[in-house]
């Protein structure tokens, strides 16, 4: 499954244009603690979070994550999207809650 298919299945609104939408998604990590993501997320996973500030892009980039999904329709900061374009990280906003997004992705990626 690639990041475009993941974003579509979560009714996400993709906010960036330069990320690779064909990037393979190997799994998913859900956390709002950035050090936890740094310690435990794995390369290629898509990250679901409520955080909207620019540091999420730096974390996703350093960990080679496949993309970031911000849940509950929270709006990413302008600087976050600018950095995401610079780093070619796909950022999307989903209207779903973290529980709903995680549940759907679990079905898609694990079942």
Partner 1 sequence: MADKNIEGSFHLTGGDFTNAGAASSELKSIMTKLNISPHLARRAAIATFEAEMNVIIHAVAGVMYYMITPDCIKVVLNDMGPGIPDIQQAMREGYSTAPDWIREMGWGAGMGLPNMKKNSDEFRIDSVVGEGTTVEIIIKIKEDKTP
Q: Tokens at residue 28, please?
A: 């998913």
Residue with tokens 């759907």: 104
Compare residues 39 and 107 and give the one whose CB is closer to partner 1: 39
Residue 75 interacting with partner 1 (CB under 8 A): no
Residue 108 interacting with partner 1 (CB under 8 A): no
- Taking each continuous run of H as one helix and of E as one strand, the counts in the chain are 5, 5
DSSP strands (E only) in 24-86 = 27-30, 45-49, 67-70
Compare residues 8 and 39 and give the one whose CB is closer to partner 1: 39
Compare residues 34 and 109 and give the one whose CB is closer to partner 1: 34
Sole binder of partner 1 in the list 6, 25, 63, 76 (CB under 8 A): 63
What does the binding site for partner 1 look like in residue numbers (CB under 8 A)?
Answer: 31-36, 38-39, 43, 49, 51, 53-56, 58-59, 61-64, 79, 87
């Amino acid at each position: 499954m690639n990041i475009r298919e993941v974003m579509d299945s979560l009714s996400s609104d993709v906010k960036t244009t330069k990320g690779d939408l064909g990037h393979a998604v190997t799994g998913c990590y859900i956390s709002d603690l950035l050090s936890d993501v740094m310690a435990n997320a794995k390369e290629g996973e898509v990250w679901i979070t409520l955080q909207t500030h620019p540091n999420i892009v730096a974390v996703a980039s350093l960990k080679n994550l496949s993309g970031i999904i911000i849940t509950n329709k929270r709006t990413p900061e302008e600087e976050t999207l600018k950095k995401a374009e610079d780093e070619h990280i796909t950022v999307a906003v989903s209207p779903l809650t973290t529980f709903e997004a995680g549940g759907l992705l679990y079905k898609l990626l694990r079942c």
